[in-house]
């Protein structure tokens, strides 16, 4: 009986091992099938994208004076260019920026190009949207032809208006509204700084105010009185000269004044 029992245990063990091997083999086969199917889908996607690209660009004519050997030096920031990739896509846009390190150029297309994205990562792909305009990165090595439609100097005022916010370097005219806005901002900043200068000749008082205003930016002077978070601090600027509602803020300021005065006296000594 013991021999029969031992034989049964060995058989069960062998069965478990065989079942394990079968499961592992099945998993491997499934993974291989998934990889093969994925590659086929990618190949089909590339063919469809290339065909679509050729259809979309078949009616586009490139400008005259094409450069067959396209170099990064052919592009000028602010100019309007039209290029053709080795996949047949015609790309038109303003030169937004140039990446000399990555040998790439960034074009502002003037329209949304989300209907086509090439499958090759080193070709042409959308980088970002600026309003209703799309920025696209183009690797120079992906270009077969390039032509300049308008140089930066030839860009007219209508083109400037459309791209004013995105491409300020195209705008050669003075923006009066922008100047007025900056002027108001500067005036407000000057007024804010003046409110932080007291009419006192005591260096200690001004240093104390500077310390308080760094923590409470809305602090200001009213003559020789400090106004900090609704609390008035009058000369000689001790905790006894704090006037305001009995709140946590009042207690905090009183402690700060005492500590600052002690610290200042210690430094002076």
CATH of the domain at 127: 2.30.30.100
At 30, the pLDDT band (50, 70, 90 cuts) reads: very high
pLDDT at 129 over 60: no
pLDDT at 173 over 50: no
Higher pLDDT, 21 or 12: 21
How many whole angstroms separate alpha carbon 184 and alpha carbon 15? 86
Q: Phi/psi at 218 (nearest 5 deg)? A: -80, 5
Higher pLDDT, 174 or 181: 181
**Tally of domains in the chain:** 3
Structure tokens at 224: 């020789």
How many whole angstroms separate alpha carbon 164 and alpha carbon 57? 28
Is residue 101 in some structural domain?
A: yes
Which residue in this structure is represented by tokens 């309003």? 131
Quote the mean pLDDT of the chain: 72
Domain stop point among 170, 201, 222: 170
Domain stop point among 19, 38, 59: 59
pLDDT of residue 79: 85
Q: How much of the chain, in percent, has pLDDT values that exceed 70? A: 63
Is residue 99 in some structural domain?
A: yes
Say whether both 199 and 155 belong to one domain: no
pLDDT of residue 138: 86
At 164, the pLDDT band (50, 70, 90 cuts) reads: very low
In this predicted structure, which of 15-29, 61-75, 255-269 has the lowest mean pLDDT? Answer: 61-75
Judged by DSSP in three states, 86 sits in coil
Domain stop point among 136, 170, 204: 170
At 171, the pLDDT band (50, 70, 90 cuts) reads: very low
pLDDT at 116 over 80: no
Is residue 41 in some structural domain?
A: yes
Say whether both 88 and 43 belong to one domain: no
Helices assigned H by DSSP within 75-175? 157-162
Structure tokens at 199: 């009419």
Higher pLDDT, 11 or 176: 11
Burial of 161-183, coded b for 16+ CB within 10 Å and e otherwise, reads eebeeebeebbeeeeeeeeeeee
- Which residue segment(s) compose the domain that 228 sits in? 178-268
* Omega before residue 99 within 30° of 0, cis: no
Is residue 243 in some structural domain?
A: yes
Say whether both 183 and 226 belong to one domain: yes
- The whole-model pTM stands at 0.33
pLDDT at 130 over 50: no
At 232, the pLDDT band (50, 70, 90 cuts) reads: very high
Say whether both 250 and 160 belong to one domain: no
Say whether both 197 and 164 belong to one domain: no
Which residue in this structure is represented by tokens 């923006």? 175
Say whether both 6 and 50 belong to one domain: yes
Is residue 64 in some structural domain?
A: no
Is residue 121 in some structural domain?
A: yes
Contacts of 128 (CB under 8 A, 6+ apart): 134, 135
pLDDT at 176 over 80: no
Say whether both 54 and 79 belong to one domain: no
The string of pLDDT tens digits covering residues 36-93 is: 888 878 777 666 555 544 444 444 444 444 445 788 888 888 888 888 888 888 888 8
Say whether both 186 and 157 belong to one domain: no
Is residue 66 in some structural domain?
A: no
Average pLDDT over residues 237-266: 85
Is residue 7 in some structural domain?
A: yes
In this predicted structure, which of 16-20, 33-37, 169-173, 224-228 has the lowest mean pLDDT? Answer: 169-173
Say whether both 77 and 163 belong to one domain: yes
Say whether both 164 and 195 belong to one domain: no
Say whether both 165 and 82 belong to one domain: yes
Say whether both 50 and 138 belong to one domain: no
pLDDT of residue 45: 63
């Amino acid at each position: 009986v013991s021999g029969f029992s031992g034989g049964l245990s060995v058989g069960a063990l062998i069965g478990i091992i065989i079942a394990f091997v079968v499961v592992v083999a099945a998993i491997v086969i499934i993974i291989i099938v998934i990889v093969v199917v994925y590659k086929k889908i990618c190949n089909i996607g590339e063919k469809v994208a290339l065909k679509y690209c050729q259809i979309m660009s078949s009616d586009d004519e490139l400008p005259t004076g094409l450069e067959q050997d396209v170099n990064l030096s052919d592009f000028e920031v602010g100019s309007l260019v039209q290029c053709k990739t080795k996949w047949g896509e015609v790309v038109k846009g303003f030169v937004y920026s140039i990446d000399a390190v990555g040998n790439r150029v960034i074009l502002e297309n003037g329209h949304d190009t989300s209907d086509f994205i090439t499958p090759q990562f080193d070709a042409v792909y959308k980088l970002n949207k600026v309003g209703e305009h799309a920025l696209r990165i183009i690797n120079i090595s992906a270009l077969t032809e390039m032509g300049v439609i308008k140089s930066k100097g030839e860009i007219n005022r209508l083109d400037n208006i459309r791209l004013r916010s995105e491409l300020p370097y195209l705008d050669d005219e003075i923006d009066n509204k922008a100047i007025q806005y900056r002027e108001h901002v500067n005036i407000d900043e000057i007024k804010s700084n003046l409110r932080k200068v007291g009419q006192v000749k005591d260096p200690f008082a001004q240093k104390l105010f500077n310390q308080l205003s760094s923590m409470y930016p809305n602090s200001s002077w009213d003559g020789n009185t400090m106004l900090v978070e609704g609390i008035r601090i009058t000369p000689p600027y001790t905790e006894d000269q704090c006037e305001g509602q009995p709140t946590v803020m009042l207690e905090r300021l009183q402690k700060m004044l005492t500590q600052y005065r002690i610290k200042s006296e210690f430094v002076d000594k």
